Structure 1
Amino acid sequence: MKKIVSLIAAMTITLSLVACGTDSAAQKEAESTPAEAATEAAADSTDSSKTYNVGVIQLVQHPALDAATKGFQDALVEKLGDNVTVTIENASGDNATCATIANTFVSDNVDLIMANATPALQAAATATNSIPIVATSITDYASALDIEDWSGATGVNVTGTSDLAPLDGQAEMLNTLFPDAKEVGLIYCSGEKNSLYQAKEITKYLEKYGYNVTDYTFADSADVATVVQSACGSSDVLYVPTDNVAANAAETINNVALTAGIPIVAGEEGICKGCGIATLSISYYDIGYNAGLMAYEILVNGKDPATYDIEYATEFTKEYNKSIADTLGIKIPEDYVEIEME
C-alpha cells in the first residue's frame, strides 16, 4: 500500500512540473515584445535563399530620371542585398527601343519590371500583363495607361510613384514672380501624354490669375529651338512642365530664351538647372526610392500591383537658378532655395 501511495505522489509531482514548464513557456511567449514578434514574423515570411531579377527601362539619361533610377536601386539593395539583381537599360529617348527592352525582359522572365518615364511604362504595359510593373517619374497614370475610371490604383499589373508637383502651386509661383506679365507660353513635347496633362491642368490655374496662355509644342528635339524662338516672340514668361524631351534639350531652350530675355518657370529641378529661373520641385531620388520599396512589397510580401495605390510626393521645395536670375536681373524672394549647380 505504501508503494502505491509513493507512486501516486511521484506522478503528481511530475505532472506539476510539466504543468509549471508549460505555464512558464506560455508566460515567456506572452512576455515577448511586439518588436521581437515582428522580427520573427518577418524572418518566417522572407525566404533568404530566394533571389530576384529586376529589369529597369529608363527612357533617357538626364538628372531627374537618373536620380529616380538610383533611388529605386538603392531601396531594393538595402532591402534584399545580394538577393536581387537589377539590370538597367537606357532607351536613349527612343520609344521603339523601350519596346525592345521591355520584350527582352519579358523573354528573360524577370520577376519585376521598373519603368522610368511614361514611354517606358507604356512599352512595359504593352509587353506583359502578368509580370508586375512598378513605374516612376509618371505624372498621370490614368492618361498614360488610358484609364477612364480612375480610383487611385490601375486595376492592372502596374503601380508606382508619380512626379506630379502641385500645378496650382506652380501657377502661384509664376504669379508671385511675374505678376505684371500678360502672356504665358507653355513649351512641351506633343508626344508626351504627361506633358499634355500638365499643360491642360496648369492652364486652368494660370487663367484664374488673368494670364493669356498659349501652347507651343514640338514633336522632337529637332524642333525645340524653332518652337522656343516662336514662343519667346509672343510671351512675357514661359512655363516648361516635367517633360523628358525638354529636359534633354534644356541647354538649347536656355540659349534661345536667355538671348531673348524671357524667363522660364520649370516643372522640376533638372529643367530649372538647365534653363529655368525657378521651380516648385520634388526629389526624384525620393520617388524612385519609394518605388523601390513598393517593388519589395510586391516581390517579397505578395502585394498586388493592381490594387496598390499610386504614391505621390508629399514634400516640395521652392528653388531658383541664381545664374539665370542674376543674368535677367530678377529678384527672387528669400524663401527660395538656391539650386546647387553641378
Structure 2
Amino acid sequence: MKRSALRTVSVILSLLLMCALISSCDNTPDAGKDVYTVGICQFIEHEALDKATEGFRAAVTKELGDTVKIVYQNAAGEKMNAQSICSSFASDSVDLIFANSTNALAAAAEATSVIPVVGCSVTDFASTLGLTDFTGKTGFNVTGYSDILPLEKQAEVIKELFPEKGKVGILYCSSEINSRYQADEITKHLVSFGFTCENYTFVDTTDVTLVTEKASRECDVIYTPTDNTVASNTSAINNILEPAKIPLVAGNIDVAVGCGIATVGIDYYDLGFKAGEMAVSILKGEIRPEDTEIGYADEYFKKYVPERADALGIMIPEGYSAIE
C-alpha cells in the first residue's frame, strides 16, 4: 500500500512537471488577463519607423483600449541599446514585444524564445533570424510584417527613367543585413535590363560622405535600398549628388524626399497598423506567432520629386505621382 501510494504521488508529480514545462514553452499569452503589457522596441527615430509605431499603437489601442499598457523604448540607433531594451522586456515578462526594424527584431528574438514577438519594418525576416529553410512561417515565437518592396519594380523605375542604360551605383551600409539582400536582388534585375552595377558600401555614418563622393564620380545613377543609415544621412548625400548632377532612385519615400528623384513606396502607418492587428489576435489567443505567416504591404506606388527631376532634366513618364 505504501509503495503503491508513493508510485501514485510520483506519477502525479511527473504529470504536473510536464504540464509546467509545456506551459512555459507556450507562446500564447494569457487571453484572460485584465491588462496586457506590450513592449515596443524601435531601433531609431526615423519617419518610416515612427509611422509604423504610430500605426501599431492605433490598432492595439483601438481594439484593447484601457486593457493594454504600452511601454515604448527607442534604441537611438545602437544595437547594444536594442539588446538591453529587449532583455528588460523579457525580464519583466511583458505579454508581447513589437520590434520595429531589423536590429530591433534581431535583439527581441535573441532575448526571448517564449514571449510573442511581432516584427515590423523588416525587409528580410529569414536573414535576420538566420533561417535557411524559410517557407513563410518562422515556426517559433516570431512573426510580423515585412517592408520589402518589389525590387523588380524598383529596377523598372531606373529602366524607365534612364533608358540609355549606364552604370548604377548601389549605395548602402554594409552592416545592415537587409540592405545587402536588396542590393544583391536588384542587381539581378538591373543586369537583365542591360545596366552594369557596382556596390558602394560604408560601415557607418563616418564614411558616408567619402563613399558617396566616389560613387558620384564613377556612376550615372545611384540606387539606395531601404537602409536606416542612408535614411539618417540624406542631407549629406544630397550635398554631394546635387552639385554633381547625379540622380538617385531611393528604396523608400523618406530617402527620396531627402536626396532622391523617385521611388516605389509603401505606407508605413498602414504596415504598422496591420502588425498591431496581428498583435491583438495573438494576445487574444486567436492565433500563435509560430503558425502565422509573415505579412506584406498590400499596395505599392511610384513617386517622384518634381524639383529634382526638373533640375536634372529628367522626363517622368505616366504612372508616377508627385511627392508633395
TM-score (ref. length: structure 2): 0.89
Show the counterpart of 1:305: 289
Show the counterpart of 2:141: 157
Structure 1: stretches of 5+ with no match in the other structure: 1-44
SS in 2 for 1:148: coil
The 1:243–1:130 alpha-carbon spacing in structure 2 relative to 1, beyond 3 Å, is same
In 2, Cα distance between equivalents of 1:192 and 1:304: 29
In 1, Cα distance between equivalents of 2:165 and 2:243: 19
Q: 2:106 aligns with which of 122, 125, 129?
A: 122
Show the counterpart of 2:190: 206
Q: Is the 8 A contact 1:241 1:267 kept in 2?
A: yes
In 2, Cα distance between equivalents of 1:225 and 1:162: 29
Moved over 6 A (4+): none
Q: Is the 8 A contact 2:305 2:323 kept in 1?
A: yes
In 1, Cα distance between equivalents of 2:298 and 2:161: 23
SS in 2 for 1:301: coil
Please provide the CA RMSD for this pair.
Answer: 1.3
Letter of the aligned partner of 1:74 in structure 2? A
SS in 1 for 2:284: helix
Larger radius of gyration: 1
In 2, Cα distance between equivalents of 1:187 and 1:267: 11
In 2, Cα distance between equivalents of 1:62 and 1:273: 13
Answer yes or no: is 1:216 the counterpart of 2:222.
no
Q: Is the 8 A contact 2:165 2:194 kept in 1?
A: no
The 1:148–1:46 alpha-carbon spacing in structure 2 relative to 1, beyond 3 Å, is closer
Answer yes or no: is 1:66 the counterpart of 2:74.
no
Q: Is the 8 A contact 1:181 1:237 kept in 2?
A: no
Deviation at 1:91, TM superposition (A): 0.8
1:31-110 superposed matches below 5 A: 47=32, 50-110=34-94
Deviation at 1:201, TM superposition (A): 0.5
Q: 1:225 aligns with which of 209, 218, 228?
A: 209
Letter of the aligned partner of 1:105 in structure 2? F
Show the counterpart of 2:171: 187
In 2, Cα distance between equivalents of 1:88 and 1:73: 10
Q: 1:281 aligns with which of 241, 265, 281?
A: 265
Between 1:185-194 and 1:297-306, the stretch displaced more is: 297-306
Where relative contact order (Cα < 8 A, 6+ residues apart) is larger, the structure is 2
Answer yes or no: is 1:171 the counterpart of 2:159.
no
In 2, Cα distance between equivalents of 1:156 and 1:216: 36
Q: Is the 8 A contact 1:113 1:134 kept in 2?
A: yes
In 1, Cα distance between equivalents of 2:69 and 2:243: 47
Q: Is the 8 A contact 2:42 2:49 kept in 1?
A: yes
Show the counterpart of 1:326: 310
Q: Is the 8 A contact 2:35 2:68 kept in 1?
A: yes
Answer yes or no: is 1:336 the counterpart of 2:307.
no
Structure 2: stretches of 5+ with no match in the other structure: 1-29
Q: Is the 8 A contact 1:75 1:289 kept in 2?
A: yes
Letter of the aligned partner of 1:78 in structure 2? K
Answer yes or no: is 1:294 the counterpart of 2:263.
no
- State the identity as a percent: 48
In 1, Cα distance between equivalents of 2:140 and 2:172: 29
1:172-231 Cα deviation digits (max 9, x unpaired)? 111000111310000011011100110010000000011110000011011111111111
Q: Is the 8 A contact 2:160 2:317 kept in 1?
A: no
In 2, Cα distance between equivalents of 1:87 and 1:232: 43
Deviation at 1:46, TM superposition (A): 7.1
TM-score (ref. length: structure 1): 0.84
In 1, Cα distance between equivalents of 2:289 and 2:119: 11
